[in-house]
Amino acid sequence: MVQIGNIHIGTADTATQSKIDIGEAFILSQHLYFRYFCTEQTIQYYNAAHDSDFKQVIKIGLTYLEKEVKAIEKQMEKYKVPQPSRSPKSVKVSPPVSTLINDHYIFEQIRCGCTAAAEKNLRNAIMILNNDSLREMFIDFLKDEIDMINNLLKYGKLKGWLPTYPVYKAD
C-alpha cells in the first residue's frame, strides 16, 4: 500500500515492512555522527558563552539536537544499523579562556552550523529514494532547522550581531 497525501493505493494486506538500502543506512549513520559532533560543539559554546539570555538560546538548540539524535537512533535501532561511537555526554574540562572567544563569535559559529545542518537535511531528504518515512523524517528535520535559524537570526538582529550592508538604491 502506498499513501500519497490522503490517497491510499493498494491494500493493507499487500503492504510490506519498509526496508532500508545501503545508501540510506549510510545517511543515517553519517548524520548521527554529524549530530553527535554538533551536540558536543554546542555544549562547548554553551560553556563559553557569557550572556545569560544567549545561553538560554543555546540551550534551546541543545534540546533540539538531542531530540533529533534520539529520532535517528530510534530509526537505526529499527533497521539494525550499527551506531557510530559517541563522545561521553559530560567531560570535566577547564573553563574556557573568555578573552579568546566572545558571544558574537559563538553566534556566528552556531549560525554557520545551523545553515550547514539545513543543507545537509535537504540533501539527505533528496537522497533517500526508497524509504518514505526516512525521507519524511529529514524533511521534518529541515523544517525544524529552518525555524531554529529564523529564531536565531531574530536574536542576532536584536543583539546587533548580524552583518550590515549598504542600503541598495535603485537608479
The 8-class DSSP code of residue 4 comes to: E
| Tens digit of each residue's pLDDT (9 = 90 or more) over 77-109 | 999 999 998 876 665 656 656 668 999 999 999
In a domain, 4, yes or no: no
In a domain, 111, yes or no: yes
Beta partners for 8? 3
Compare 69 and 170 and report the one with higher pLDDT. 69
In a domain, 7, yes or no: no
In a domain, 142, yes or no: yes
**Predicted confidence (pLDDT) at residue 130 exceeds the cutoff of 90:** yes
Q: Which helix (H) or strand (E) holds 2?
A: strand 2-4
Q: Which helix (H) or strand (E) holds 8?
A: strand 7-9
- The total of structural domains in the chain comes to 1
At 156, is the secondary structure helix, strand, or coil?
helix
Compare 120 and 6 and report the one with higher pLDDT. 120
**Predicted confidence (pLDDT) at residue 9 exceeds the cutoff of 90:** no
Lookup: cell for 88: 561521553
In a domain, 164, yes or no: no
**Predicted confidence (pLDDT) at residue 163 exceeds the cutoff of 60:** yes
pTM recorded for the entire structure: 0.85
Q: What is the pLDDT of residue 31?
A: 98
In a domain, 39, yes or no: yes
Show the domain range for 58. 18-88+96-159
Report the CATH number at residue 123. Answer: 1.20.1260.10
| Tens digit of each residue's pLDDT (9 = 90 or more) over 24-67 | 999 999 999 999 999 999 999 999 999 999 999 999 999 999 99
In a domain, 10, yes or no: no
Q: In which region does residue 160 sit, left (phi positive, over 0), alpha (psi from -120 to 50) or beta (all else)?
A: left
**Predicted confidence (pLDDT) at residue 14 exceeds the cutoff of 80:** no
